[in-house]
Chains A and B, each alone.
Chain A
Amino acid sequence: AQTVTQSQPEMSVQEAETVTLSCTYDTSESNYYLFWYKQPPSRQMILVIRQEAYKQQNATENRFSVNFQKAAKSFSLKISDSQLGDTAMYFCAISNFGNEKLTFGTGTRLTIIP
């Protein structure tokens, strides 16, 4: 079984600053995928970024990047130049090879302050 831990229930940051959201996970598999999903107040779940465990290079998507430390089982999300629209719940999730379900962490509520 896999687990995902997000130790920061809430965070807030000034607009235009950089913020890092933490995520650690546990899995016995060697092949897996990691995801960050965003859930704004509209409730819609939106994929922010994904990382294949077999790739050492950290994934980036515009202002969003990850710091993937496989040995430490850590997968943090960095948001640069934060914008008001980044205000949302952020969920870290894992999907093991051979099992397509997503196992989510408990989420981090991020507030961007104008």
Chain B
Amino acid sequence: DTAVSQTPKYLVTQMGNDKSIKCEQNLGHDTMYWYKQDSKKFLKIMFSYNNKELIINETVPNRFSPKSPDKAHLNLHINSLELGDSAVYFCASSRRGQGYEQYFGPGTRLTVT
């Protein structure tokens, strides 16, 4: 069984469109994250949720809005897509607390044309 799943795995869309990426974890974790990996492979935190509450919000444009309907799901909605949004987006989850392993999803490669 997949521990952290993301849909879709690939997403190609045009500038100006709105798209969503879904993430689900079946590990019973209460903390979930979104990371962005750019074309140079650099990984950076975007958001973190704990028990549906936003706890980390790095400097991310307002066009990006995370939504957590329950502890097992964390979705990422992106409005008015721009070329610079092209990247791989990773969802991750962990137990609450410091030092616990974060389990990553397979990533969603977003290409904006």
Contact = CB atoms under 8 A, between A and B. Distances in A.
Interface residues of B, number: 28
A44 B98 contact: no
Interface stretch (A13-21, A68-76, A79-87, A99-107): A99-107
Interface residues of A, number: 26
Contact of A50 (B40, B55, B99): B99
A98 B98 contact: yes
A43 B107 contact: yes
B1 interface: no
Interface string B38-68: 0011111100100000011010000000000
A31 B106 CA distance: 30
Contact of B42 (A31, A33, A96, A104): A104
Contact of B43 (A31, A46, A91, A99): A91
Nearest to A45: B104
Contacts, number: 59
A89 B96 CA distance: 27
Given A104-B43, A106-B40, A50 B101 contact: yes
A102 B94 CA distance: 11
Interface string A43-70: 1111100101000000000000000000
A95 interface: yes
